[in-house]
Amino acid sequence: MTAAKENPLKVVDVANLDAKTADQILEGFATQGFLFVDGHDFTQEEVDHFFELSKQYFALPQEVKDKQAIDADNCGYTSFHQEKLDPKLQLRGDPKEAFNFGLFNFITGDCKKEQLPELFAYGSENYKFINKMSKKYFELGSRILNLLAIGLKIDENEGGVNWFSDRHRTEGTSMTTMRVLHYPPSSKLDGDQVIRAGAHTDYGAITLLFQQKGQEGLELFDTTENWKPIPYVESANAEYRAQGKAAPIVVNIADQLSFWTNKVLKSTPHRVLVPNDVDRYSIVFFFHADNDVRLTPIPSPIVKAAAQPGQYDNKKPEDYITSKEYLLKRLKDTYA
Protein backbone atom coordinates (compact mmCIF):
# COMPACT_ATOMS: atom_id res chain seq x y z
CA MET A 1 0.00 0.00 0.00
CA THR A 2 1.33 3.44 -0.82
CA ALA A 3 1.15 6.13 1.82
CA ALA A 4 -1.49 8.82 1.29
CA LYS A 5 -0.04 12.08 0.01
CA GLU A 6 0.47 14.61 2.76
CA ASN A 7 -2.24 17.27 2.72
CA PRO A 8 -1.14 20.63 4.17
CA LEU A 9 -4.69 22.01 4.06
CA LYS A 10 -7.70 21.69 6.34
CA VAL A 11 -10.86 20.25 4.84
CA VAL A 12 -13.92 22.21 6.01
CA ASP A 13 -17.48 21.03 5.44
CA VAL A 14 -19.65 24.06 4.65
CA ALA A 15 -23.02 22.27 4.64
CA ASN A 16 -24.02 24.13 7.84
CA LEU A 17 -24.07 27.91 7.93
CA ASP A 18 -23.17 28.15 11.62
CA ALA A 19 -20.63 29.73 13.96
CA LYS A 20 -18.56 26.55 14.29
CA THR A 21 -18.09 26.23 10.52
CA ALA A 22 -17.42 29.98 10.28
CA ASP A 23 -14.63 29.72 12.87
CA GLN A 24 -13.02 26.83 10.96
CA ILE A 25 -13.16 28.79 7.71
CA LEU A 26 -11.74 31.90 9.34
CA GLU A 27 -8.95 29.96 11.02
CA GLY A 28 -7.83 28.37 7.74
CA PHE A 29 -8.01 31.61 5.77
CA ALA A 30 -6.31 33.68 8.50
CA THR A 31 -3.31 31.30 8.63
CA GLN A 32 -2.71 29.39 5.41
CA GLY A 33 -5.10 31.35 3.19
CA PHE A 34 -6.08 28.07 1.48
CA LEU A 35 -8.63 25.35 2.36
CA PHE A 36 -10.36 22.36 0.90
CA VAL A 37 -14.12 22.86 1.01
CA ASP A 38 -16.44 19.85 1.24
CA GLY A 39 -20.21 19.72 1.67
CA HIS A 40 -20.73 21.72 -1.53
CA ASP A 41 -23.35 21.13 -4.18
CA PHE A 42 -21.29 19.97 -7.18
CA THR A 43 -21.66 16.37 -8.39
CA GLN A 44 -18.66 14.45 -9.67
CA GLU A 45 -20.54 13.85 -12.91
CA GLU A 46 -20.86 17.61 -13.52
CA VAL A 47 -17.24 18.30 -12.73
CA ASP A 48 -16.10 15.39 -14.95
CA HIS A 49 -18.30 16.68 -17.78
CA PHE A 50 -16.84 20.17 -17.45
CA PHE A 51 -13.31 18.73 -17.66
CA GLU A 52 -14.36 16.68 -20.70
CA LEU A 53 -15.63 19.83 -22.48
CA SER A 54 -12.48 21.70 -21.53
CA LYS A 55 -10.35 18.91 -23.01
CA GLN A 56 -12.40 19.00 -26.23
CA TYR A 57 -11.96 22.76 -26.44
CA PHE A 58 -8.18 22.77 -25.98
CA ALA A 59 -7.82 19.97 -28.55
CA LEU A 60 -9.20 22.33 -31.26
CA PRO A 61 -6.75 23.66 -33.87
CA GLN A 62 -4.73 26.65 -32.68
CA GLU A 63 -6.20 28.98 -35.32
CA VAL A 64 -9.73 28.17 -34.13
CA LYS A 65 -8.85 29.03 -30.51
CA ASP A 66 -7.02 32.19 -31.58
CA LYS A 67 -10.27 33.55 -33.06
CA GLN A 68 -11.53 34.45 -29.59
CA ALA A 69 -8.35 36.10 -28.30
CA ILE A 70 -8.71 37.63 -24.84
CA ASP A 71 -10.50 41.01 -24.94
CA ALA A 72 -10.80 44.14 -22.79
CA ASP A 73 -13.48 42.44 -20.65
CA ASN A 74 -10.97 39.70 -19.79
CA CYS A 75 -13.07 37.20 -21.79
CA GLY A 76 -11.69 34.74 -24.34
CA TYR A 77 -8.59 32.69 -25.05
CA THR A 78 -5.03 33.25 -23.81
CA SER A 79 -2.34 31.31 -25.63
CA PHE A 80 1.00 29.80 -24.59
CA HIS A 81 3.52 32.23 -23.06
CA GLN A 82 1.04 35.11 -23.27
CA GLU A 83 0.59 35.49 -19.54
CA LYS A 84 3.35 36.14 -17.01
CA LEU A 85 2.02 35.47 -13.53
CA ASP A 86 5.37 36.36 -11.98
CA PRO A 87 6.45 39.32 -14.17
CA LYS A 88 9.42 40.22 -11.96
CA LEU A 89 11.08 36.81 -12.24
CA GLN A 90 9.78 35.31 -15.48
CA LEU A 91 11.57 35.94 -18.74
CA ARG A 92 8.99 33.99 -20.71
CA GLY A 93 5.26 33.73 -20.13
CA ASP A 94 3.61 30.64 -18.63
CA PRO A 95 3.56 27.52 -20.87
CA LYS A 96 -0.22 27.17 -20.57
CA GLU A 97 -3.42 28.10 -22.37
CA ALA A 98 -6.75 29.19 -20.92
CA PHE A 99 -10.25 30.30 -21.80
CA ASN A 100 -12.18 32.84 -19.72
CA PHE A 101 -15.95 33.07 -19.43
CA GLY A 102 -16.92 36.42 -17.94
CA LEU A 103 -19.36 39.34 -17.64
CA PHE A 104 -21.80 37.04 -15.86
CA ASN A 105 -25.37 37.63 -14.90
CA PHE A 106 -25.79 35.21 -11.99
CA ILE A 107 -29.57 35.34 -12.06
CA THR A 108 -29.61 33.61 -15.46
CA GLY A 109 -26.03 32.33 -15.51
CA ASP A 110 -25.50 34.09 -18.87
CA CYS A 111 -21.97 35.18 -19.76
CA LYS A 112 -20.53 37.34 -22.55
CA LYS A 113 -21.98 35.78 -25.69
CA GLU A 114 -19.88 37.49 -28.37
CA GLN A 115 -16.65 35.90 -27.30
CA LEU A 116 -17.55 32.20 -27.36
CA PRO A 117 -16.16 29.41 -29.54
CA GLU A 118 -18.57 27.23 -31.52
CA LEU A 119 -18.28 24.51 -28.86
CA PHE A 120 -19.99 26.80 -26.32
CA ALA A 121 -22.16 28.76 -28.75
CA TYR A 122 -24.94 30.87 -27.23
CA GLY A 123 -28.08 28.79 -26.66
CA SER A 124 -26.35 25.41 -27.10
CA GLU A 125 -26.50 22.60 -24.55
CA ASN A 126 -22.88 23.29 -23.66
CA TYR A 127 -23.64 26.99 -23.15
CA LYS A 128 -26.49 26.08 -20.80
CA PHE A 129 -24.17 23.74 -18.93
CA ILE A 130 -21.67 26.60 -18.50
CA ASN A 131 -24.50 28.79 -17.15
CA LYS A 132 -25.43 26.11 -14.62
CA MET A 133 -21.86 25.63 -13.44
CA SER A 134 -21.22 29.34 -13.05
CA LYS A 135 -24.34 29.65 -10.89
CA LYS A 136 -23.15 26.78 -8.71
CA TYR A 137 -19.76 28.41 -8.28
CA PHE A 138 -21.51 31.69 -7.43
CA GLU A 139 -23.68 29.99 -4.80
CA LEU A 140 -20.75 28.23 -3.18
CA GLY A 141 -18.61 31.38 -3.28
CA SER A 142 -21.44 33.35 -1.66
CA ARG A 143 -21.87 30.72 1.05
CA ILE A 144 -18.16 30.92 1.89
CA LEU A 145 -18.36 34.74 2.00
CA ASN A 146 -21.36 34.51 4.34
CA LEU A 147 -19.41 32.19 6.62
CA LEU A 148 -16.51 34.66 6.58
CA ALA A 149 -18.85 37.50 7.57
CA ILE A 150 -20.05 35.39 10.52
CA GLY A 151 -16.47 34.49 11.48
CA LEU A 152 -15.37 38.13 11.28
CA LYS A 153 -18.29 39.08 13.55
CA ILE A 154 -19.62 41.84 11.31
CA ASP A 155 -22.38 43.57 13.26
CA GLU A 156 -26.00 42.93 12.27
CA ASN A 157 -26.55 46.71 11.92
CA GLU A 158 -23.69 46.95 9.44
CA GLY A 159 -25.01 44.14 7.22
CA GLY A 160 -23.95 41.11 9.31
CA VAL A 161 -23.86 37.79 7.49
CA ASN A 162 -24.71 39.50 4.17
CA TRP A 163 -21.93 42.09 4.26
CA PHE A 164 -19.86 40.45 1.54
CA SER A 165 -22.76 39.06 -0.49
CA ASP A 166 -24.26 42.57 -0.65
CA ARG A 167 -21.08 43.49 -2.51
CA HIS A 168 -21.05 40.38 -4.74
CA ARG A 169 -24.62 40.65 -5.98
CA THR A 170 -26.38 38.18 -8.28
CA GLU A 171 -27.49 41.12 -10.42
CA GLY A 172 -24.24 43.01 -9.99
CA THR A 173 -21.67 43.77 -12.67
CA SER A 174 -18.30 42.34 -11.76
CA MET A 175 -15.11 41.00 -13.29
CA THR A 176 -15.81 37.54 -11.89
CA THR A 177 -14.31 35.00 -14.28
CA MET A 178 -14.74 31.27 -14.76
CA ARG A 179 -11.60 29.92 -16.40
CA VAL A 180 -10.59 26.58 -17.87
CA LEU A 181 -6.84 26.00 -17.99
CA HIS A 182 -4.60 23.52 -19.79
CA TYR A 183 -0.95 22.83 -19.05
CA PRO A 184 0.80 20.44 -21.49
CA PRO A 185 3.02 17.62 -20.16
CA SER A 186 6.76 18.08 -19.59
CA SER A 187 7.66 16.22 -22.81
CA LYS A 188 5.97 18.99 -24.81
CA LEU A 189 7.89 21.78 -23.06
CA ASP A 190 11.31 23.23 -23.86
CA GLY A 191 14.14 21.53 -21.96
CA ASP A 192 14.40 23.27 -18.62
CA GLN A 193 10.88 24.57 -18.16
CA VAL A 194 9.70 23.38 -14.75
CA ILE A 195 7.21 26.14 -13.92
CA ARG A 196 3.81 26.03 -15.55
CA ALA A 197 2.41 29.09 -13.79
CA GLY A 198 4.67 31.59 -12.05
CA ALA A 199 4.29 32.42 -8.35
CA HIS A 200 1.44 34.89 -7.79
CA THR A 201 -1.47 35.86 -5.61
CA ASP A 202 -4.95 36.02 -7.11
CA TYR A 203 -6.66 39.31 -7.96
CA GLY A 204 -10.26 38.86 -6.80
CA ALA A 205 -11.91 38.19 -3.43
CA ILE A 206 -11.79 34.38 -3.32
CA THR A 207 -10.80 31.68 -5.82
CA LEU A 208 -12.39 28.23 -6.14
CA LEU A 209 -10.52 25.52 -8.06
CA PHE A 210 -11.23 21.99 -9.26
CA GLN A 211 -8.36 19.77 -10.33
CA GLN A 212 -8.20 16.12 -11.35
CA LYS A 213 -6.64 13.08 -9.76
CA GLY A 214 -3.14 12.32 -11.08
CA GLN A 215 -2.66 15.84 -12.49
CA GLU A 216 -1.16 17.57 -9.45
CA GLY A 217 1.29 20.45 -9.64
CA LEU A 218 -0.31 23.30 -7.69
CA GLU A 219 1.87 24.47 -4.79
CA LEU A 220 1.39 27.09 -2.10
CA PHE A 221 3.94 29.11 -0.15
CA ASP A 222 3.07 27.95 3.34
CA THR A 223 3.31 29.68 6.72
CA THR A 224 6.84 28.25 7.20
CA GLU A 225 7.82 29.84 3.85
CA ASN A 226 8.23 26.54 2.05
CA TRP A 227 6.54 25.47 -1.18
CA LYS A 228 4.06 22.69 -0.45
CA PRO A 229 2.22 20.62 -3.07
CA ILE A 230 -1.56 20.64 -2.84
CA PRO A 231 -2.70 17.08 -3.46
CA TYR A 232 -5.98 15.90 -4.94
CA VAL A 233 -8.12 14.67 -2.05
CA GLU A 234 -11.29 12.58 -1.96
CA SER A 235 -14.07 13.43 0.46
CA ALA A 236 -13.67 11.73 3.84
CA ASN A 237 -17.47 11.67 4.06
CA ALA A 238 -18.76 8.28 2.83
CA GLU A 239 -22.26 9.69 2.42
CA TYR A 240 -21.07 12.39 0.04
CA ARG A 241 -19.16 9.83 -1.98
CA ALA A 242 -22.24 7.56 -2.11
CA GLN A 243 -24.36 10.54 -3.24
CA GLY A 244 -21.96 11.14 -6.13
CA LYS A 245 -20.74 14.48 -4.82
CA ALA A 246 -17.56 15.90 -6.33
CA ALA A 247 -14.32 15.77 -4.34
CA PRO A 248 -13.52 18.75 -2.07
CA ILE A 249 -12.70 21.96 -3.94
CA VAL A 250 -9.60 24.10 -3.31
CA VAL A 251 -10.53 27.60 -2.08
CA ASN A 252 -8.13 30.45 -1.43
CA ILE A 253 -8.23 34.06 -0.34
CA ALA A 254 -7.23 36.53 -3.04
CA ASP A 255 -5.89 40.10 -2.81
CA GLN A 256 -9.17 42.01 -2.54
CA LEU A 257 -10.12 40.19 0.65
CA SER A 258 -6.64 40.61 2.04
CA PHE A 259 -6.80 44.43 1.53
CA TRP A 260 -10.33 44.55 2.77
CA THR A 261 -9.49 42.80 6.03
CA ASN A 262 -6.20 44.55 6.68
CA LYS A 263 -4.43 41.25 5.90
CA VAL A 264 -6.35 39.32 8.58
CA LEU A 265 -7.17 36.99 5.68
CA LYS A 266 -4.07 35.83 3.84
CA SER A 267 -3.68 36.03 0.07
CA THR A 268 -1.05 33.32 -0.24
CA PRO A 269 1.39 33.02 -3.15
CA HIS A 270 0.99 29.87 -5.21
CA ARG A 271 2.37 28.46 -8.46
CA VAL A 272 2.04 25.43 -10.73
CA LEU A 273 4.96 23.07 -11.41
CA VAL A 274 5.42 20.18 -13.82
CA PRO A 275 5.76 17.21 -11.46
CA ASN A 276 5.28 14.56 -14.15
CA ASP A 277 4.72 14.00 -17.83
CA VAL A 278 0.95 14.43 -17.93
CA ASP A 279 -1.38 17.21 -19.03
CA ARG A 280 -2.96 19.24 -16.25
CA TYR A 281 -6.44 20.71 -16.57
CA SER A 282 -7.98 22.93 -13.91
CA ILE A 283 -11.26 24.85 -13.69
CA VAL A 284 -11.12 28.01 -11.66
CA PHE A 285 -13.70 30.55 -10.51
CA PHE A 286 -12.23 33.97 -9.68
CA PHE A 287 -14.92 35.60 -7.57
CA HIS A 288 -14.71 39.41 -7.61
CA ALA A 289 -16.66 42.06 -5.74
CA ASP A 290 -18.92 44.27 -7.89
CA ASN A 291 -16.87 46.65 -10.03
CA ASP A 292 -17.48 49.87 -8.10
CA VAL A 293 -17.07 48.43 -4.61
CA ARG A 294 -14.30 50.27 -2.78
CA LEU A 295 -11.93 48.16 -0.72
CA THR A 296 -12.48 50.16 2.46
CA PRO A 297 -11.77 48.35 5.75
CA ILE A 298 -14.67 46.09 6.64
CA PRO A 299 -16.69 46.75 9.83
CA SER A 300 -15.30 43.84 11.83
CA PRO A 301 -13.89 44.08 15.36
CA ILE A 302 -11.25 41.53 14.32
CA VAL A 303 -10.12 43.68 11.39
CA LYS A 304 -10.19 46.81 13.53
CA ALA A 305 -7.96 45.15 16.11
CA ALA A 306 -5.40 44.33 13.39
CA ALA A 307 -5.03 47.98 12.29
CA GLN A 308 -2.03 50.13 13.20
CA PRO A 309 -2.91 53.10 15.44
CA GLY A 310 -4.21 55.90 13.22
CA GLN A 311 -4.10 53.78 10.05
CA TYR A 312 -7.61 54.69 9.00
CA ASP A 313 -7.69 58.24 10.39
CA ASN A 314 -8.72 61.01 7.99
CA LYS A 315 -9.32 58.56 5.14
CA LYS A 316 -12.15 59.20 2.74
CA PRO A 317 -13.84 56.37 0.78
CA GLU A 318 -12.27 57.79 -2.42
CA ASP A 319 -8.84 57.05 -0.95
CA TYR A 320 -9.52 53.34 -1.46
CA ILE A 321 -9.24 51.59 -4.81
CA THR A 322 -12.31 49.91 -6.36
CA SER A 323 -12.54 46.22 -7.12
CA LYS A 324 -12.31 46.76 -10.88
CA GLU A 325 -9.47 49.30 -10.68
CA TYR A 326 -7.44 46.78 -8.71
CA LEU A 327 -8.01 44.01 -11.26
CA LEU A 328 -7.10 46.23 -14.21
CA LYS A 329 -3.87 47.20 -12.51
CA ARG A 330 -2.88 43.55 -12.01
CA LEU A 331 -3.90 42.49 -15.53
CA LYS A 332 -1.75 45.25 -17.00
CA ASP A 333 1.33 43.78 -15.26
CA THR A 334 0.40 40.22 -16.21
CA TYR A 335 -0.01 40.86 -19.93
CA ALA A 336 2.71 43.54 -20.28
Note the residues at the interface with ligand AKG (CB under 6 A). Answer: 181, 197, 202, 209, 211, 218, 270, 272, 282, 284
User: Which residue stretch of 16-24, 148-156, 167-175, 195-203 sits at the interface with Fe ion (rule: CB under 5 A)?
Assistant: 195-203
Minimum CB distance to ligand AKG smaller for 21 or for 100: 100
- Binding at 197: pick from ligand AKG, Fe ion, none (beta carbon under 5-8 Å per type): ligand AKG
Minimum CB distance to ligand AKG smaller for 138 or for 183: 183
- Binding at 144: pick from Fe ion, ligand AKG, none (beta carbon under 5-8 Å per type): none
Minimum CB distance to Fe ion smaller for 160 or for 229: 229
DSSP per-residue letters across 115-151: T--GGG-TTSHHHHHHHHHHHHHHHHHHHHHHHHHHH
User: Which residue stretch of 1-9, 115-123, 200-208, 234-242 sits at the interface with Fe ion (rule: CB under 5 A)?
Assistant: 200-208
Residue 50 CB, nearest distance to ligand AKG (Å)?
14
Cα–Cα nearest to 203, from 285, 299, 317, 99:
285
DSSP per-residue letters across 14-64: -SS-SHHHHHHHHHHHHHTSEEEEES-S-BHHHHHHHHHHHHHHHTS-HHH
- Cα gap 136→127, rounded to integer Å: 14
- Binding at 272: pick from Fe ion, ligand AKG, none (beta carbon under 5-8 Å per type): ligand AKG
Cα–Cα nearest to 151, from 138, 169, 164, 139:
164
Note whether 203 and 257 are within 8 A (CB).
no
User: Which residue stretch of 73-81, 202-210, 228-236, 271-279 sits at the interface with Fe ion (rule: CB under 5 A)?
Assistant: 202-210
- Under the phi-then-psi rule, with left for phi > 0, alpha for psi from -120 to 50, and beta for the rest, what region is 251? beta
Residue 154 CB, nearest distance to ligand AKG (Å)?
27
- Cα gap 53→216, rounded to integer Å: 20
Cα–Cα nearest to 38, from 143, 135, 130:
143
Minimum CB distance to ligand AKG smaller for 47 or for 150: 47
- Binding at 253: pick from Fe ion, ligand AKG, none (beta carbon under 5-8 Å per type): none
Residue 218 CB, nearest distance to ligand AKG (Å)?
4
Torsion angle, CA of 151/156/159/162, rounded to 10 degrees? Answer: 50
Under the binding rule (CB under 5 A), the answer on residue 202 touching Fe ion is: yes
Q: What does the binding site for Fe ion look like in residue numbers (CB under 5 A)?
A: 202
